[in-house]
Amino acid sequence: MAARLGVPVEDVERVHRLAGDLPSAPLPAKAHAPVLLARLAVRPDDAAEIMAGWPDPGSASWTPELRWLLDRSIALVRADLGGHGWLAPGPELPRDRGLAWRHLYVYAYLALVEVVLGYHREHGIAEAVSYATLADLGRNLAVDRRMRGEGWPVMQSWLTLHARGGVYELGRLQYQRGDTTLGLHVPESGPLTPRAVEASLDEARAFFPRHFPDERYTTFSCGSWLLDPQLLDYLPEDSNIVRFQQRFELEPYEQPEGIDADVEVLRFVFRTLTTPLDQLPRRTALQRAAVDHLKAGRHWQWRRGHFPIQPVRH
Ligand SMILES: CC(C)(COP(=O)(O)OP(=O)(O)OC[C@H]1O[C@@H](n2cnc3c(N)ncnc32)[C@H](O)[C@@H]1OP(=O)(O)O)[C@@H](O)C(=O)NCCC(=O)NCCS
């Protein structure tokens, strides 16, 4: 199976171990898929591919191995409904082998939409929040297209948070449930103005006690290249990124396991991981900073910070 899927044996064993014979979930009816994809903000070019590669019962491009992986990946993610940890839905597939390979985890996501909507309903969450949250699928597919597929390995895991009810988009920011912290994520959706951030934080302050009354959140936290204080050397004091940084109490620097901040800056500032520094655009202050810093042999930092959920009143 692993050989036919072109992935390591351990990855297949992991899916087998985690999903076992737990229940899967059916895909939405193909006839309803175009409307659903539009609600999930999937752009026409991506939607056309997803429709063309649809796992119809008779489709020859869906080999038994791919069908097994799709079914077990849905079961694996579904088994952790309500979870909020990082979760890979399965192995990284060779996506250049065809549409089934390219979008297997998108079909899994589509199957889980009904499941997670049910979870949202149980928590009294409005449909508008559900769809604003789940529409990160379309945004990620569009970014991955710009990145020529380089973004997907991270996205396929990131999107399982949405499919499990682990993350919510409230205005400008996304919030990942944790034990006592709400993790902030910043989607690419326009400028990060202080006003938009404040409005979103206020939304979150009301949303979580209302919809997750059994959970007790005390702090907002964030782990990001956006919190690297070295950015202060390059960006004006009134830039949105600097003002975002100023909200946080920074934790002491620790090289995070498995994250290379230089790569993350390339990912989020240039949407490429492999373009040589000399060929990267220098249109914005941040782009010039990112390249000049690396060319000088220096490195970016992935930093963590936090601040209390309830504003401190003096
Ligand atoms: C976070 C984000 C919204 C901030 O953008 P912003 O509100 O414009 O930020 P600032 O006001 O601080 O921008 C300062 C300068 O950097 C530029 N800049 C900011 N983010 C940029 C980006 N991702 N790519 C290229 N240039 C960027 C701005 O254009 C501006 O330069 P200019 O004055 O020459 O035009 C933006 O970087 C973004 O969309 N990033 C992608 C998502 C992300 O990084 N999330 C965090 C993941 S851990």
How does pLDDT run across 186-227, given as a tens digit for each residue? 999 999 999 999 999 999 999 999 999 999 999 999 999 999
Out of 241, 242, 246, 270, give the residue to mutate to test ligand 1, the one with the largest number of ligand atoms within 8 Å of its CB.
241
Pairing verdict, β 173-177 and 249-250: unpaired
pLDDT in tens, 113-123: 999 999 999 99
Pair of tokens at residue 150: 């380089």
Contacts of 40 (CB under 8 A, 6+ apart): 113, 131, 134, 135, 137, 138
Local confidence band at 156 (pLDDT 50, 70, 90 cut-offs): very high
Which pLDDT value is given to residue 225?
98
Query: What's the gap in Å between 191 CA and the centre of ligand 1?
Result: 7
- Which residues lie with the beta carbon below 6 Å from any ligand 1 atom? 186, 188, 191-192, 224-226, 235, 239-241, 268-269, 284-287
Distance of CA 157 from the midpoint of ligand 1 (Å): 24
What pLDDT band is residue 288 in, cutting at 50, 70 and 90?
very high
The strand order across the sheet containing 219-224 reads 167-170, 173-177, 181-185, 219-224, 303-308, 249-250
**Global pTM?**
0.97
What is residue 44's DSSP assignment?
H
In sequence order, what E strands does the chain have?
A: 167-170, 173-177, 181-185, 219-224, 249-250, 303-308
Specify the ligand 1 atom closest to the Cα of 241.
12
Q: Which residues pair with 68 in a beta bridge?
A: none
Where do the domains of the chain lie?
A: 2-170, 195-308
Which ligand 1 atom minimizes the distance to the CA of 224?
48
Tokens of 309: 């959920």
Could you tell me the distance, in angstroms and rounded to a whole number, from the CA of residue 183 to the centre of ligand 1?
20
Q: How confident is the model at residue 255 (pLDDT cuts 50, 70, 90)?
A: confident
**Which letter, b or e, does each residue of 206-239 get, where b requires 16 or more Cβ atoms within 10 Å of its Cβ?**
ebbeebbeeeebebbbbbbbbbbebbeebbeeeb
Q: Which pair of tokens denotes residue 206? A: 């009301």
* Strand 249-250 to 219-224 pairing: unpaired
For ligand 1, atom 16: residue with the closest CA: 286
Name the residue of 195, 235, 237, 239 whose CB sits within 8 Å of the most ligand 1 atoms, as the mutation to test its pocket: 239
C-alpha 289/C-alpha 281 separation (Å) is 11
- What is the rounded CA–CA span in Å between residue 176 and residue 167? 4
Q: Which residue has the least CA distance to atom 48 on ligand 1?
A: 224
Which CATH class for the 195-308 domain? alpha beta
Please name the residue that has the structure tokens 């690297």.
Answer: 228
